[in-house]
Structure 1
Amino acid sequence: MHRSSVRSARMRPGPAPGRIWECCKKEAGRMVPVRTCVACRERAARTELLRVVVHEDRLVVDDRAVLPGRGAWVHPTVHCLDRAVTRGSLLRALRVSGKPDISPLENRLKKLMDN
């Protein structure tokens, strides 16, 4: 057997047989992207989390997950949003220096509390 074929047989890309990718989980026969909440550190499907980005020195909720820049994922619950802001894990995940305006995020938090 040629040396390169031995190496390619040993170094197969992807997870070990019987395992799924760490970044995805299988739901309804489809692979779904998985993200980690910066507040509680729980893993959840991307559709269950909110993406937050810094846009023009303001924290903005990116509902469609299309805004450019580094994003941080958080559960859309009062507990997780409040915890992410008060502990500073949101700013740390976004790698922001200074204090961006968090009023858009606070407005989202108030909407969640009203519901």
Structure 2
Amino acid sequence: MKKVPIRMCLSCRERKEKKSLIRVVRTLQGTLEVDPTGKKAGRGAYVCPVPECVERLDRKSLSFAFRIEVSEKEVLSLKEALRTYLGGQAKEVRHDKGQSV
């Protein structure tokens, strides 16, 4: 039996399976990005794929997780990227449910 990796959401602090969370990464260039593959190089942190957790992200928790000082502008940019990512995921789910099998 394989051990399932568990990670904590930055917003709600709940522990969940790694594959059920969205990875956010601080790249080697120092930018914060959404990492849908979970394989980008850099320091990572995780967020639940729900709008409430995305909106609850703040500068303090991101600064602590990434061990750098994160600006408010970077927080807003990351939230927008996460919203866009979640919007794309929702469209895929709706599209899949609309297909007849």
TM-score, normalised on structure 1? 0.61
SS in 2 for 1:101: helix
Q: Which moved more, 1:87-96 or 1:67-76?
A: 87-96
Identify the residue that residue 98 of structure 2 maps to in structure 1: none
Stretches of structure 1 that go unaligned for 5 or more consecutive residues are 1-28
**For residues 69 and 78 of structure 2, what CA distance do their matches in structure 1 show?**
18
Q: Is structure 2 residue 40 aligned with structure 1 residue 64?
A: no
Map 1:4-19 onto structure 2 (within 5 A): none
**Counterpart residue type for residue 81 of structure 1:** V
Q: Deviations over 1:39-89 (max 9, x none)?
A: 1110000001111112234210111111122111111111111112x3531
Deviation at 1:95, TM superposition (A): 0.9
Question: Which structure is higher in helix share?
Answer: 2
Determine the structure 2 residue equivalent to 1:31.
Answer: 3
| Native 8 Å contact 2:25 2:44 kept in 1 | yes
Q: Which residue of the other structure, out of 79, 82, 89, is the alignment partner of 2:61? A: 89
Letter in 1 for 2:9: C
Question: Structure 2 regions of 5+ residues with no counterpart?
Answer: 91-101
Structure ID, larger Rg:
1
Q: Matched residues, percent identical?
A: 36
Match of 1:108 in 2: 82
Change (3 A) 1:110 1:68: closer
Verify the 8 A CA contact 2:26 2:32 in the aligned structure 1.
yes
Shift of 1:101: 3.0
Give TM-score scaled by structure 2 length: 0.68
CA contact (8 A) 1:53 1:71 kept: yes
Question: Superposition RMSD on alpha carbons, in Å?
Answer: 2.4
**1:74 alignment counterpart:** 47
Counterpart check, 1:42 vs 2:14 = yes
